[in-house]
Every structure is written in C-alpha cells, then in structure tokens.
Structure 1
C-alpha cells in the first residue's frame, strides 16, 4: 500500500515555512528601514559591490526584469539608488547607490544577528544550514 503524502514530511513545506518565519523576524527591522524583503536583497547585492548592471543584479538574485524593474523603480523613488545608462552602451543600465542608500547599510548590519538569535542556532549551525541550502538550490537548478 502506498503511503499518503503528509505535509509535515515535505521538504518543500519545511523550506517554505522557514522562509516565511525568517522574513517575519526581519520584518520589524526592514519596516524601520522602509524596505520590503525583496528590496533588502537588492540593497545587499549593491552594498557588496556597486555599480551593478540591471542584468547582473537579476542574475545574482534570480529575478527576471519584469520583477526587478519595479523593485529598482521603488528604490529609486525612495532615494536609495540611481539608474544610469552607460555612456559606452545605451542598452546597459547600471544601478548606483546614493549616499542615503550607502548609509542604510549601517542599520542593516544587525539583521543577520537578529535571525541568529531568534533561531537559537550557533553560528556554525547556521553556516552549515546555509551551505546545505546552497547545495540543495544548486542541485535543484541543475535538475530543471
């Protein structure tokens, strides 16, 4: 007899639930910063290195231009980023942080520690989890 699938045994549901719970922990800090979670992800990439091309941002975040463009438009309206066309290639648009966007990184510095504290996991356990999730993501992308 075939076993009936159970919700509590599904990896996909555990990942979904963990993602929602992590985002909920981030929400008060992000609300204070005036950012949504997807906007925060864009800012993380730009804080690492900027300027970044729109296409490059989309590839790094796994977002298509239809999703990324409105995010960038909102971040630009908030005065956190500027989009500029390349002088060498008009088709290429680079995203630059404004001074306000750069200074926001100081507020964001506490977010990873907040998650770690809320999760009750050691730094090593969190690193192992991140590595495992990275392997899972890569394997699933290769399977598609």
Structure 2
C-alpha cells in the first residue's frame, strides 16, 4: 500500500441487502431473531418492517475498509453505534447501504484510523463508526 494521508477518501461502497441476505446471515451467525425475517414480529416490536441485523450492517461497513486495506488482516479494531434500523422491504431490490470512509488519523505505529459513514435512504444508520487499520510494510 502506498503512503496514506489524512483526508484520503476510500472508494465508496454501495451494497444491497435483501431478505435472502438476512436469511443467509441468520444461518451463518445463528441469530434467528424474528424481527429479521417476520413481518408480524417486526410490527409487534414497533418496527416499520423487517430490519437487517446490526452486525450485518457493520460487516458491510468493514468490507469497504478491508477492500481498501487489501484484506482481512489489515483491520485490527472496529467500532460503530447503531443509529437507526435498516429496513429491508420484501421485494427484489431490498435496501441499499452506502458506505463512505476517510482516513482520519495516521498513527506513529504504522496504523491509521478510518472514520466511516453508513447511510440508507440518505439517513445515517451507523454513527461513531471507525476502524483501526495496520498498514502493510512495503516489502509485503
């Protein structure tokens, strides 16, 4: 990876999440909470519709960082606060997450802090989202 500077923008990531993605994620994560697949359960919980798993949303955000950093080995820490649910309609389009990230700080120990913004339908769904990335040495 070449020299990284504060203010450097990572490539924007747009990711659609459908109900089928929720089923696949539930199976992989073992999280079968009904608000992620049942319209009735979502309504009973006061939600407008079925919602995506919060950790799935965070995983999409981290994908933008790992794609930029060159793989999973680069991210050493990640955080995020779930600001609002990602409503996933029961259609072929689902919901689109838009991930934008920027290098916010270059640390002395060959690491950088990346601040991340994730929106759905123009509204922030994750806040205070960031990743700490260990930069690869030039010979790697």
Structure 1 or 2, whichever has the larger Rg, is 1
Structure with a larger share of its residues in helix: 1
Q: Which has the higher contact order (CA 8 A, sep 6+)?
A: 2
Q: TM-score, normalised by structure 2?
A: 0.27
Structure with a larger share of its residues in strand: 2
